[in-house]
Chain A
Amino acid sequence: MTSDTRRIGVEYITRVEGEGWLKVAIRDGKVSECNFGIFEPPRFFEAFMRGRKFTEAPDITARICGICPVAYQVSSVQAMEMVCGVTIDPVVDELRTLIYCGEWIESHTLHMYLLHAPDFLGYESGIALAADHPDEVGRGLRLKQTGNAIVAALGGREIHPVGLRVGGYHRVPTRNELAPLIPRLEQARDDAIQTVDWVATLPMPEANRDDEYVALAADDHYAIHHGRIRSTRGLDIAVEEWNDHFAEEHVERSTALHSHLKERGMYQVGPTARFNLSEELLRPVALEAAHRNGLTAPCTNPFKSIVVRAVETLHAVDLALDILDRYQRPAHPYVPVTPTAGVGHGASEAPRGLLYHRYEIDSEGRVKTAQIVPPTAQNQASIEADLLHLVERNLELSDADLQHLLEQSIRNYDPCISCSAHFLHVEVDRA
């Protein structure tokens, strides 16, 4: 290494699920290399779904991620219900929204309080943050537990819930069984409001990205698991048109596939994308909290994603209360589903962004092919672009300070790297 060369390597990025690395090389005052990589072993889920029964998809794919299993379950059951031509009871469908709210609450809260906020305040960990800010971190844990409680009430357990099935739920709770959630959610609403106000005070690095934001969006609600795929640059397609507009490619340094829009290249998914596309459809209490703290669409500073997460947490808490208030137990927890040969597509908004599933099944309900596009894979190119942008603007920082800034930037996307691995078929040319 010459005197005018700086190389900063971060081999293990902490406080993200899974593991990844980034490499930045600076030569003569310019960035010559900036790569964010993943070296977690491939997960092979798309491959070993082949031959399995269509009813197994929700429980198998849920194992891809311990943080967002509900997202995998919902995307997969919706894909199977599409191919089999099934429409589920609207009340049962709303219970899917409810368990999804629980997942947003627990995932967002974990990320904000224990993974990301320490970056903004200069702490090495959530534990160190808790020592100086016990009330705030205690509030975060209380919020997360409420999210856990929703998932457990509907999914049977907090981790890798098992309640969902193709056609509905295995069992739906009575109104009395869900009633204990209401006072917890009322407390959670206060906690979530305070969370928005707190994260909005965090010292926010300046950054501005001219990016295309992609999310599920609807005309009448802040989309979680129903809607069309839209972007801030005019994309507006049905979920089943995914492969007409998006492509995945293997990048040598990563075991995850990188996604891009065929016509325009990189894009990003996640809370900021949802907010930028559907801000006005937030629950009124969440929209008011966002505006009170100066957050309006379009939000183009990736660091403000932590504020968007707080706003979405408040939205999810308030929506969960609304669903519980109206809930009447449906007569049947599920509709029987007879397998039909064909192709089905499902998309939903995992906490960290759009999650697309596509399955082809035969007449006996065996999976012939599976395609799973997780949010972190879609954000890979955007994460790298952020890093390049930051390095170029902050060359004067010490290596340690630059490393801290880059890790903080990666966490803007809450990259659940465990989600981002595909099976890759490799052809070897021996000529």
Chain B
Amino acid sequence: MRNDAVIVGVGNTDRGDDGVGIVVAGIAGSLTGIAVRTVNDPFDIVDAWGFADLVIVIDATKGASSPGAITVFDVGSDTFPPAFPSSSSHGLGLADAVALGKALGRLPNHLVVIGVEGATFEGVGLSPQVSDAVDAAVGAVLEVMSHA
């Protein structure tokens, strides 16, 4: 178990597929024993990852691709999209949170963002398409861990 890593789930479980980040983070944390933080407000993401060396953030995306599709951004090696299609209901999205962390000099050494495209952002619980994608998203987290 790595104690210099954090899995951060972003979203709201009462807002349909917006909760997928929370669900995936919880399962991945149970399987790996890595610390899990869950946040709703993207402003709190910078605090959630603290000073960890490796941070994996899971968030729902909206308008990026077909429901259930998984996208992995390695912030260290990829160019982080300036408009990561976060599903946040607030004015600030995940890309802004990462930019804020960078401005404050508080980006972790290795930051990976895993996006799961949502189908609906209403009601409680995940849609069937996104439920079917949870295992693959957890697998993506484990894949990142295995190479980190």
Verify if B47 is at the interface (C-beta below 8 Å from A). Answer: yes
User: Known: A127-B99, A159-B41. Contact between A137 and B47, CB under 8 A?
Assistant: no
Within 8 A of A (CB), among B6-42: 12, 14, 39-41
Q: CA–CA, A402 to B106, complex, Å?
A: 35
Which residues of B lie under 8 Å from residue A159 when comparing CB positions? 12, 40-41
Where chain B touches its partner, the secondary structure class is loop
Please state if A145 and B40 are interface contacts (CB–CB under 8 Å).
Answer: no
Which residues of B lie under 8 Å from residue A125 when comparing CB positions? 96
A396 CB to nearest B CB, Å: 31
Could you name 9 residue pairs across A and B whose Cβ atoms are closer than 8 Å? A14-B91, A114-B92, A130-B103, A130-B104, A141-B43, A141-B47, A141-B104, A145-B47, A148-B44
Verify if A158 is at the interface (C-beta below 8 Å from B). Answer: yes
Please state if A134 and B40 are interface contacts (CB–CB under 8 Å).
Answer: no
User: Known: A15-B91, A127-B96. Contact between A137 and B103, CB under 8 A?
Assistant: yes
Q: CA–CA, A126 to B42, complex, Å?
A: 13
Within 8 A of A (CB), among B68-95: 89-92
Please state if A145 and B100 are interface contacts (CB–CB under 8 Å).
Answer: no
Chain A: interface residue total (CB-CB under 8 A): 24
Which residues of B lie under 8 Å from residue A66 when comparing CB positions? 40-41, 89-90
What are the 4 A-B residue pairs with the smallest beta carbon separation, nearest first?
A130-B103, A159-B40, A131-B103, A127-B99
Please state if B40 and A158 are interface contacts (CB–CB under 8 Å).
Answer: yes
A residues neighboring B (CB under 8 Å)? 14-17, 63, 66, 110, 114, 125-128, 130-131, 134, 137-138, 141, 144-145, 148, 158-160
Q: CA–CA, A63 to B89, complex, Å?
A: 13
- Having A66-B90, A145-B44, A160-B40, one finds 4 other A-B pairs with CB under 8 Å, namely A14-B91, A17-B91, A127-B96, A159-B41
Which residues of B lie under 8 Å from residue A126 when comparing CB positions? 100
Q: CA–CA, A110 to B96, complex, Å?
A: 14
Please state if B105 and A134 are interface contacts (CB–CB under 8 Å).
Answer: yes
User: Known: A14-B91, A15-B91, A134-B105. Contact between A158 and B44, CB under 8 A?
Assistant: yes
User: Known: A14-B91, A159-B12. Contact between A138 and B40, CB under 8 A?
Assistant: no
Q: Which of A14, A63, A110, A134 contacts B103 (CB 8 A)?
A: A134
B43, B44, B46 pick with most chain A CB within 10 angstroms:
B43
A150 CB to nearest B CB, Å: 14
